[in-house]
Structure 1
Amino acid sequence: MKRENYREMTKAEIELKLHQYKEELLNLRFQKVTGNLLNPSRIKQVKREIARIETILNENEIGLTKLSEGK
């Protein structure tokens, strides 16, 4: 997902997405250990999404950007 799309979301929605990606990363790591991982590059993609989301949340926290207030 693009950064602009995350900035249009509310903080609660972004935190929910972050939680979902962290759960997915945990599951992918378990699959890797057990040898059932079908798409190894997905781990890298999920890590990047987590980093994107955390960056946006940190920017919002220090006041560099503002997130959507709601719909």
Structure 2
Amino acid sequence: MKTNKYVEDLKTKSAAELSQELVAAKKELFNLRFQNATNQLDNTARIKEVRRNIARIQTVMTANLKNVE
């Protein structure tokens, strides 16, 4: 149920806000991968969660683009 609320929140955001959110998620994923490579990451499941959030953001962006056309 937590992801449904996250997706609904994404749907209410503008294209600029979504792209900012995407950039932030990609930066977080980079940092998590870096921490994982140096054995500093405790919660490795966070990598999977962030990857899925990136996919969700991209899906909402694509849906919004198709709705505009």
TM-score range, shorter chain: 0.7 to 0.9
Q: Determine the structure 1 residue equivalent to 2:53.
A: 49
Matched residue pairs, number?
64
- Identical-residue share of aligned pairs (%): 41
Under a length normalisation based on structure 2, what TM-score does the superposition of the two structures give? Answer: 0.85
Q: Determine the structure 1 residue equivalent to 2:44.
A: 40
Aligned partner of 1:13: which letter? E
Q: What stretches of structure 2 of length at least 5 have no aligned partner? A: none
- The structure carrying a bigger helix percent of its residues is 2
Deviation at 1:61, TM superposition (A): 1.6
* Aligned alpha-carbon RMSD (Å): 1.3
Match of residue 31, structure 2, among 11, 23, 27: 27
Q: Does 1:14 align with 2:18?
A: yes
Q: What stretches of structure 1 of length at least 5 have no aligned partner? A: 67-71
